[in-house]
Amino acid sequence: MILFPQAKINLGLNVLSKRSDGYHDIETCMFAVPLYDVLEILPSDKFSFVSSGLDIKGEVEDNLCVKAYGLLREKHNIGPVYMHLRKNIPMGAGLGGGSSDASNVLVGLSQLFDLNLSVPLLEEYSAVLGSDCPFFIKGGAQIAKGRGEVLAPLDLSLKGKFVKLVNPGIHISTSEAYKNVLFGERCSLLESLQTPIGKWQKELINSFEDYVFEMYPEVASIKQNMLSEGALFSAMSGSGSTIFAIYDVEPEKTFEFLSEWVLKL
C-alpha cells in the first residue's frame, strides 16, 4: 500500500488565548496543497520503520508514524508492518508534514487490516498524536478552532491559481513560537476568507509573524519579495518558517539557494 501525505498552508492563523490545559485556542483555515511525502505500508513478520529523502532528526520511537502505529496496535491489536517514509515536505516548516504522515498511517492501517474506522474515529485518534493531525484525515479546506482539532469544512476553491512555497531552511520551534506569540483580536476569519483574494493581505493575519520576522528578518524579506513580484496574497504558514504566496499566473522560481516549489492548485 502506498499513500501520499499532503502538505497544508494556513490562510490566516489567529492565536486567541492560552488555555488552562497548556494549549492555545486558535482560529485558522488549513488548506491542502499538492506537495507530498510518500508512505509505503506492508504486512511484515516484525515491525520496522525506515525513512529516506530529507533527514529526520530524533529517535525512531519518537516519530509520529511510529506513534500512530502504536496507537492502533493498542486500540485494535493489529499485526506488525513495514513502513517506509520518503520525506519530501520539510520539517519544522509550518507545512504539517509530520502530522500528515501520522494521519495517513492511521488511514492506511485501517484499510490494510480491514478495521473500517469511521472518519470521526480517525479524527479522534489523530488528535491524540497532534493538534493539526485531524485535518489531514479529510484534507481540503477546513476552518480549525480549539487547539486545531475542532474542524468545519469550508467551501473555498483556489482552482487554477498557483502557490509558491519557499522554505529558508530555518527550523522554528512550535513551543518557542507559542511562548512569544502576541494574542490576536477576535475577528471573523470566515468573513475575511469570503472577501476577494486581493483584500486578504489586509484582512488575514498570522499571529506568529511578528515574533518570527523579528528573530529572522530574512523570512520577512521573502514575503516582501513575493508581494513585489505580483502575488495576490503572501503569508507565513503555521509557526513558520515557510512563506507561501498565491498568484493568478505561474510565477518564476526566484530564490536560487532556498527550497522552493511552484504548484498549480
Catalytic residues, by residue number, are 8, 132
- Which residue is associated with the grid cell 516582501? 224
Residues 34 and 163 sit within 8 Å (Cβ to Cβ): no
Cα separation, 92 vs 30, whole angstroms: 16
Contacts made by residues 63-66, CB under 8 angstroms, sequence distance 24+: 63/98, 64/98, 64/99, 64/101, 64/102, 64/105, 64/129, 64/130, 64/133, 65/39, 65/101, 65/102, 65/105
Residues 6+ apart with CB under 8 A from 235: 10, 11, 12, 204, 206, 209, 223, 243, 244
Query: Which among 77, 75, 130 is positioned nearest to 101, based on CA atoms?
Result: 130
Strand partners, 13: 28, 206
Q: How far apart are the first and last CA of the chain?
A: 26
E strands within the chain?
A: 2-3, 6-18, 24-36, 38-43, 48-53, 81-87, 141-145, 150-153, 162-167, 233-236, 243-247, 259-264
